[in-house]
Chain A
């Protein structure tokens, strides 16, 4: 057993834990174009001061949080009814309905985001439709705005919302709803007082699964958001690849990690494979 444990443990320490120590060390260094790689090690908190003092970075943190939170809420509003409807469908239909939710997750993320580029473009299908149907004479461009980023995030991460919600809703004890009905609760009342509170673990898991990856998202804001959308994942990317400021990019990474420690621990606490719980 010890050998079986050692293999994945060593791998994860070497390639997951250790790298963060390296990032932390470099984030305290200073950027220098004379050295190769382009930084000098040291102990300098300047990068962190910039991160939480400079207007650009503060704005990037705030808009990342805002975009991720709004998108999570939108995904919940769309995902909850879907998960609910699937869990109430005939048992033999459920696997197919669920598979249809998972399938997009298996197809390329990049291609799915790309699909929206054609849909949302200035002369794209959505705008053509709006003009044709007379809803809007000259619809503005959607691509390049925060709207497009929200849409992209909801679209890309919807399966992550639906799956945990379905798992909780499906396990729900129906006799509780019958009891509520017997005691005179109308369906809506029963939903609000029984189903909704009991599905909170699913809501929390789904929201975290959408919120956590959208905070650090790079591809969606880059391809759909244009220049006006500021998100921290994109800032990190630009600092690293465009400005070649490795220490600052490392500090952004550590900041992002610090921001996500809470949600990630919460998620793991909830998902923790705890054998004691089964007894």
Chain B
């Protein structure tokens, strides 16, 4: 190895060690016998069975999954529309619209959380009775994750061969038929990876959810947070291991979807 190659290797090794060591420890300690997260006392799967018997955690996970499915789907539809418009249409309010689409992505979660909650409280107070829970959480998650779908879709449309669409139009296809039979299938990988991203973001969100959730709705991150605040809990290591496994599979799947296209 030359000096520079060795330097590049060691910087990458250090960087990846920094990124993965904490995750590796979570996985290793999920099989720890001891209740203490910091002491290794032998191999055991008892925290795995404890988590699988933890009804509160399981029902929170189920709620989170349902919310993530609905909000990712809504975000995919709205994000697809937004990305399509941004890539194709010219209209006077385009700059404002573009800013509006991307802003939720960079807005601090505490700010977005409080603003949405106060809106919901206002609706509840002055317009109609609003039950805070599933619906309000879905609205919040959709709003910030549609930006991610829009950006992926727009990027895909930017380097897209438009002659295919023109050919379809020349052959007499209406714009809607062209979109459905030519454009959509070609950008489907982008929409799917956008959906997966929105799904993951929704599953993971704590701060925004904490604001807009009612007392009855406890999502998985909310449960994890309240359990972690009381101190380290070996069941959370098990949950972390599952999350890492799912995320890795999702990423591989999404990488495969995007690669297939190009």
By a beta-carbon cutoff of 8 Å, the part of chain B in contact with chain A is: 4, 8-9, 11-12, 15-16, 18-20, 22-23, 25-26, 29, 36-39, 77-79, 81-82, 84-89, 91, 95, 97-104, 106-112, 114-116, 118-119, 121-122, 125, 139-140, 142-143, 146, 150-151, 154, 158, 200, 203-204, 206-207, 211, 221, 224-225, 228-229, 232, 236, 239-240, 243-244, 247-248, 250-251, 255
Contact = CB atoms under 8 A, between A and B. Distances in A.
Interface residues on A, range: 35 or more
A213 B106 contact: yes
Given A5-B97, A23-B114, A260-B106, 10 more contacts: A12-B104, A15-B143, A16-B100, A19-B118, A81-B8, A107-B248, A114-B232, A115-B23, A121-B38, A212-B106
B108 A216 contact: yes
Contacts of B240: 107-108, 111, 114-115
Interface of A: 1, 4-5, 7-9, 11-13, 15-20, 22-23, 26, 37, 78, 81-82, 84-86, 88-89, 95, 97, 99-104, 106-112, 114-119, 121, 123-125, 128, 155, 158, 187, 208-209, 212-213, 215-219, 222-223, 233, 236-237, 240, 246, 249-250, 253, 256-257, 260, 264, 267-268, 271-273, 275, 278
Given A111-B243, A216-B109, A268-B102, A275 B118 contact: no
A262 to B, nearest CB: 12
Contacts of A106: 200, 247-248, 250-251
Interface of B is mostly: helix
25 contacts: A4-B85, A5-B89, A11-B143, A11-B146, A12-B146, A19-B118, A22-B122, A100-B20, A108-B203, A110-B206, A110-B224, A111-B236, A115-B22, A118-B37, A119-B22, A158-B19, A218-B207, A223-B228, A233-B108, A249-B114, A253-B110, A260-B106, A268-B102, A273-B86, A273-B87
Contacts of A264: 103, 106-107
Nearest 3 Cβ contacts at the A-B interface: A216-B108, A19-B115, A115-B22
Given A112-B22, A115-B22, A26 B118 contact: yes
Residue of A106, A116, A128 with most chain B CB atoms under a 10 A cut-off: A106
A253 B15 CA distance: 34
Contact of A223 (B85, B95, B122, B229): B229
Contacts of A12: 100-101, 104, 143, 146
A7 B80 CA distance: 11
A106 to B, nearest CB: 4
A18 B100 CA distance: 12
Contact of B22 (A11, A155, A246): A155
B102 A271 contact: yes
B103 A215 contact: no
B111 A257 contact: yes
A215 B203 CA distance: 23
Nearest to A86: B12
Contact of A5 (B85, B87, B125): B85
B236 A125 contact: no
Contacts of B122: 22
